């Protein structure tokens, strides 16, 4: 006789990990489909958005700063940045204060692609993650708390 390892009346969606897995997969599937129209991978999109986000806040955008911001490892960031440079979306130049450090910036083409793609990605976020009324603010607070308690 097989041992039943799940509680008798538990719905699979009562598992927060499984529920998050399903939501995350659906969100990624939609975002990836959208970004394929722009010839971008999700990681490429996150990194060009990260370059813009950090530079708008007056921060130097080195590959390390970008990797830290996006929670991507250094090797992945380096590989993806090289691809973005080849696509002419990103420039890499030596820092004026430390010539060993390379700083990243978006090209005009990179900014154009980001502006177009970010609107569509934000629409997907609205569809997948929006909760009516005051619950949206609580939802975001809970997500931030989960992130800060477990990922920082």
Range of the domain at 62: 14-150
In this prediction the pTM is 0.88
In a domain, 64, yes or no: yes
In a domain, 96, yes or no: yes
Q: What is the DSSP letter of 39?
A: T
In a domain, 91, yes or no: yes
In this prediction, residue 1 carries a pLDDT of 62
Residues 6+ apart with CB under 8 A from 23: 128
- Kindly report the CATH number assigned to the domain that includes residue 23: 1.10.10.10
Distance, C-alpha 107 to centroid of its chain: 20
66, 104 contact by CB (below 8 A): yes
In a domain, 6, yes or no: no
> What is the number of residues in the chain?
152
In this prediction, residue 9 carries a pLDDT of 62
In this prediction, residue 33 carries a pLDDT of 97
For residue 32, report the phi and psi dihedrals to the nearest 5 degrees.
-60, -40
In a domain, 2, yes or no: no
In a domain, 120, yes or no: yes
pLDDT tens per residue, range 85-101: 999 999 999 888 888 88
pLDDT less than 70: residues of the chain: 1, 7-9
In a domain, 1, yes or no: no
Domain count, the chain: 1
In a domain, 117, yes or no: yes
Please, is 1 exposed, middle or buried when counting C-beta atoms within 10 Å of its C-beta (0-12, 13-18, 19+)? exposed
33, 123 contact by CB (below 8 A): no
- As a dihedral over the C-alpha atoms of residue 27, residue 39, residue 55, residue 109, rounded to 10 degrees, the angle is -150
In this prediction, residue 118 carries a pLDDT of 97
């Amino acid at each position: 006789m097989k041992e039943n390892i799940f509680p008798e009346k538990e719905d699979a969606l009562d598992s927060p990990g499984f529920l998050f897995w399903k939501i995350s997969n659906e969100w990624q599937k939609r975002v990836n489909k959208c970004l394929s129209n722009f010839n971008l991978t999700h990681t490429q999109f996150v990194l060009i958005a990260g370059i813009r986000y950090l530079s708008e806040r007056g921060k130097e955008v080195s590959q390390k700063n970008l990797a830290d911001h996006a929670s991507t490892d250094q090797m992945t960031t380096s590989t993806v940045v090289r691809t973005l440079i080849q696509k002419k979306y990103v420039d890499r130049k030596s820092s004026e204060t430390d010539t060993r450090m390379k700083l990243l910036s978006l090209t005009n083409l990179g900014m154009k692609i980001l502006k177009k793609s970010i609107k569509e990605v934000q629409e997907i976020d609205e569809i997948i993650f929006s909760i009516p009324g005051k619950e949206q603010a609580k939802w975001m607070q809970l997500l931030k708390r989960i992130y800060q308690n477990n990922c920082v």
